[in-house]
Amino acid sequence: MTIALSFTTKNISILSSSRKWLMFRSKLFSSSSKRLLSTSSSSSGTMNNDNNGQIRQVKLASDKNKQKPKPNLKVTFELDDGRELIGKACDGDTLLDVVLNNELDLDGFGACEGTLACSTCHLVFKQNDFDRIPNKITDEEMDMLDLAYGLTETSRLGCQIYMTKEFDGLRVKVPPAVNDVRLR
């Protein structure tokens, strides 16, 4: 695994507008980046610096022996037009990860990449599945859901729902429209 990092005064000045900062933040703090940062913090690695002292890449020695687990959990996304999209997931993947990793055709889904800055990964659960979700809704998630189209009592953001073996075979409804609050 290689992580490329490069920050200069020029890069930081570009981030001065709030929209650019949100876009940068969403990439920096996406769910895959969070996982990467949390797993790499305890691993040893090497850093390559250029003459200006900028970090160009970090290679983690522990990644040579790691194999990515094979997705073994199934999720079905029910679309408003009757179509169904099926994705495979690993234990611990978010529903947003499932859509992205399986390249499911859900236009605009997960625009903020899981940073709770939009409501484009809004999903509607069956009541019994909703009741089984272990992590309860946070104030931040509720704030984003309040702006979503088609909000129901069993609505959640896909970026906040983690797959477990208990959710194998999960079926969720995708609302017919998304409201990307970042574009307001």
Residue 67: per-residue pLDDT: 73
Q: Across-strand partners of 157? A: 122
Residue 121: per-residue pLDDT: 96
Residue 180: per-residue pLDDT: 56
- Kindly report the pTM of this predicted structure: 0.63
Ramachandran bin of 107, using left for φ above 0, alpha for ψ from -120 to 50, beta for the remaining angles: beta
Residue 68: per-residue pLDDT: 75
Count of Cβ atoms closer than 10 Å to residue 34 Cβ:
13
Q: Which two tokens stand for residue 146?
A: 């309040």
Residue 65: per-residue pLDDT: 58
pLDDT tens sequence for the chain (184 residues): 444 444 444 444 444 444 454 455 555 555 444 444 444 444 444 444 445 554 444 444 455 556 778 889 999 999 999 999 999 999 999 999 999 999 999 988 999 999 999 999 999 999 999 999 999 999 999 999 999 989 999 999 999 999 999 999 999 999 987 655 555 4
Q: How many CA atoms lie within 13 A of 72 on its CB side?
A: 7
